[in-house]
Amino acid sequence: SGLFGLSGLFRLFRLSGLFGWLVGWLVGWVYWLISTSL
């Protein structure tokens, strides 16, 4: 189940490179925000 979701996610990123880049940037920014506030 988890592996299927992961492959679906990779397919989605490959389908739309810009969307994948945007999500990656957003996750990185949120991770940075959390790590600086701790």
Cα distance between residue 38 and residue 36, in whole Å: 6
pLDDT at residue 11 greater than cutoff 70: yes
The whole-number average pLDDT for the span 11-18 is 73
19 contacts 13 by C-beta, under 8 angstroms: yes
pLDDT at residue 34 greater than cutoff 90: yes
pLDDT at residue 33 greater than cutoff 90: yes
pLDDT at residue 4 greater than cutoff 70: no
Cα distance between residue 4 and residue 30, in whole Å: 25
More confident residue, 38 or 31: 31
Report the Cα 24 to chain-centroid distance in Å. Answer: 4
Cα distance between residue 25 and residue 13, in whole Å: 13
